[in-house]
Each structure stands twice: as C-alpha cells, then as structure tokens.
Amino acid sequence: MPQRLKRILRIVLPLFCMEGLAVVSPVFAAAISQAVLCESMDGEQPQGSGVIFSERLEHVTLYTRFDTVNTSTHVYHRWYHRDRLMANRKLVVRTPRWATYSTVQLRKADKGPWRVDVVSAAGEVLKSLRFSIVE
C-alpha cells in the first residue's frame, strides 16, 4: 500500500468511529443513521433514551434507523448481559430507508453491564452500544 494512502487512511478511518456518522459498510448495503437505546417506542419515535436504565423497567429497546439501503436484507440485534448472549433478534431491512427495533425483557437478575450489537446478515458488527441496568 502506498505511503500516501496509509497517511490518508490514518486520518480518515478514525472519523468513521464518530457518534452519529452514517457510514455505508463495504459488506452491508446500508448505512445506520441512528441507533438509540430507550425505554419504549411511541409509534416510530424512541422514548426515554439513555445508557443507564432502572431494573424496574420491564424491558429495554434498541431502535435502529437505516438510510441509503441499497438492497433489502436483514440484521440481528444481539443482546449480551455480562458478555453472555441473552437474545438474538432477526430484523428485516428494506429499501430505500428503514427503521426497526427490538426489545429485551428484564428480570431482577439482569442488573449490571449490557451490550447490544447490530450485526449484518454476513456477521459484520455494524454498531455496538453499551448500557447498564441499575437498582
């Protein structure tokens, strides 16, 4: 790889990790424009967004919006509690834009650190969000 290209990649690649930046994956034919953890949905709008949720909630929801969907496909929302897979939800993504969400049911034993990965049909992690369940 030419040195000039390496220098450009060192500058540009970290920008793809910035929050809120919509990036089209080379493998996945869509861009995630929004990914929000929330308490509930009101129609197509996430309600009570955050990264710390009370154990008194019955569930936590991940809302994911895709822009620039080139080909209809599917994604997975993989929910992990303390790095143990708790739920794997398969969700459809259709052209030209699409929004979807999944929910994980909470129990008292579910306190602590959580992670939910948005994963392409090919297994590529497109986005990873962390949150905690507290008393």
130 compared with 20, residue with greater pLDDT: 130
Residue bearing tokens 């790889």? 1
| Whole-structure pTM value | 0.78
Interval 25-43 mean pLDDT: 85
What is d(CA 31, CA 57) in angstroms, rounded to the nearest whole number? 30
Tell me the CA distances in angstroms from 21 to 12, 17, 78, one per residue in order: 12, 8, 21
Interval 55-60 mean pLDDT: 94
From 53, 93, 57, select the one nearest 73 (Cα to Cα): 93
What pLDDT score was predicted for residue 19? Answer: 41
Residue 94: pLDDT above 70?
yes
| Of the candidate ranges 4-13, 38-47, 70-79, 117-126, the one whose mean pLDDT is the lowest | 4-13
What is the SS3 assignment for 69? coil
* Domains located in the chain, CATH noted: 20-134 (2.60.40.2550)
Going by pLDDT thresholds of 50, 70 and 90, the confidence category of residue 17 is very low
